[in-house]
């Protein structure tokens, strides 16, 4: 059944949001992210001992794209 919608005022929409007015079959938002972290990052727990000598994180990405995310 078609939807009848009156006036709509949109103040803001976040970058990973979907805004829909009316009938819809399926909505599928997606996003991509790349995280750079040095050695010893993302360690969790108690009593962790890490020894890093001359650590370097390479953030140069010559191809600019790692994997294309397609819309469904």
pTM more than 0.95: no
Apex CA 42: angle with CA 37 and CA 36, to 5°?
15
Burial 16-50, CB ≥16 within 10 A → b, else e: eeeeeeeeeeeeeeeeeeeeeeeeeeeeeeeeeee
The pLDDT tens digits for 20-71 are: 887 788 887 777 777 778 777 888 888 888 887 877 777 777 776 676 666 6
């Amino acid at each position: 059944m078609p939807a009848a919608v009156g006036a709509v005022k949109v103040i803001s929409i976040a970058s990973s949001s979907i805004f829909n007015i009316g009938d819809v079959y399926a909505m599928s938002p997606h996003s991509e992210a790349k995280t750079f972290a040095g050695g010893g990052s993302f360690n969790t727990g108690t009593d962790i001992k890490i020894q890093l000598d001359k650590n370097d994180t390479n953030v140069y990405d010559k191809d600019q794209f790692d994997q294309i995310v397609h819309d469904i």
